[in-house]
């Protein structure tokens, strides 16, 4: 296992790459580059979406590269804010382009986090979170005969935050291919709701506009559909998974 010092090195290189992309954003008349930052609230989100939409018409590939790089950066280093990135994706690219893109980026970024932990951080995760690791190790061992379904269950009904699952999975001896697929499929309902919300946010100008009767009913219907995979996993749990 390599030194933990490689993690800040990887972080620095990734941050420099994002910085280079941001300062080389093509010139565009009337655009306010001060909005080019990770969104933390609704105002940041709408300002960033407006800025990137202006660029997207003439620089689609560059905007796509910037979005993917920023998304992977957040996922790889377990930085909070995936909700805003998913909503931004929906606002920029529409539901049916952003949904598979967000799902793939989520899985790829989580796998990068998995690999960083596997090669540079396993001993540190065990040292700082011994009880959580022991708890999850027991659950994985109990469900080894249906591991993939258990991993899906963890994403739909998490016992621990996603960032911890990403970092702890190498310690739990979860194969990387099962890890990737469980993240890809298990977080699809969440990603879809966020992206669909973003596609509606692109048409409103304030937070109050989200909660109209039409948009509320639409989001409620999406949430009901998104529960179906969870109900399936819950049914499988009753017969095969050992959760309690």
Say if 24 falls within a structural domain: no
Say if 40 falls within a structural domain: yes
Contacts of 123 (CB under 8 A, 6+ apart): 1
Tens digit of pLDDT for each residue in 49-88?
888 888 888 889 999 999 999 999 999 999 988 889 999 9
Q: How many domains does the chain have?
A: 1
pLDDT at position 177 over 90: yes
Say if 27 falls within a structural domain: no
Say if 29 falls within a structural domain: no
Tens digit of pLDDT for each residue in 194-231?
888 888 765 655 555 554 566 556 656 655 555 566 56
Among all chains, which residue has been given the structure tokens 């669909």?
196
Please, what is the average pLDDT of the chain?
Answer: 82
- Give me the domain span that covers residue 80: 6-17+36-239
Say if 31 falls within a structural domain: no
Say if 158 falls within a structural domain: yes
| pLDDT score at 151 | 87
Question: Which percentage of the chain shows pLDDT scores above 70?
Answer: 78
pLDDT at position 144 over 80: yes
Tens digit of pLDDT for each residue in 150-166?
888 888 776 778 899 99
CA–CA gap between residue 205 and residue 219 (Å, rounded): 18
Say if 202 falls within a structural domain: yes
Say if 26 falls within a structural domain: no
């Amino acid at each position: 296992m390599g030194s933990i010092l490689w993690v800040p090195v990887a972080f620095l290189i990734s941050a420099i790459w994002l910085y280079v992309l941001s300062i080389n954003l093509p010139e565009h008349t009337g655009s306010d580059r001060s909005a080019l930052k990770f969104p933390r609230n609704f105002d940041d989100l709408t300002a960033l979406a407006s800025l990137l939409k202006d660029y997207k018409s003439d620089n689609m590939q560059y905007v796509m590269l910037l979005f993917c790089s920023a998304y992977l950066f957040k996922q790889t280093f377990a930085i909070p804010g995936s909700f805003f990135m998913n909503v931004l994706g929906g606002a920029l690219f529409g539901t049916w382009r952003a949904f598979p893109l967000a799902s793939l980026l989520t899985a790829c970024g989580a796998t990068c986090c998995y690999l960083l932990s596997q090669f540079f951080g396993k001993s540190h995760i065990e040292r700082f979170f011994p009880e959580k690791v022991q708890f999850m190790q027991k659950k994985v061992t109990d469900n080894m005969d249906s591991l993939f379904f258990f991993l899906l269950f963890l994403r739909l009904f998490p016992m621990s935050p996603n960032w911890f699952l990403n970092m702890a999975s190498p310690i739990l001896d979860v194969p990387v291919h099962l890890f990737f697929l469980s993240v890809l499929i298990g977080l699809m309902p969440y990603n879809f709701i966020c992206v669909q919300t973003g596609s509606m946010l692109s048409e409103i100008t304030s937070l109050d506009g989200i909660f109209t009767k039409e948009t509320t009913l639409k989001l409620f219907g999406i949430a009901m559909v998104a529960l179906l995979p969870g109900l399936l996993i819950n049914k499988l749990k009753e017969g095969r998974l050992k959760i309690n």
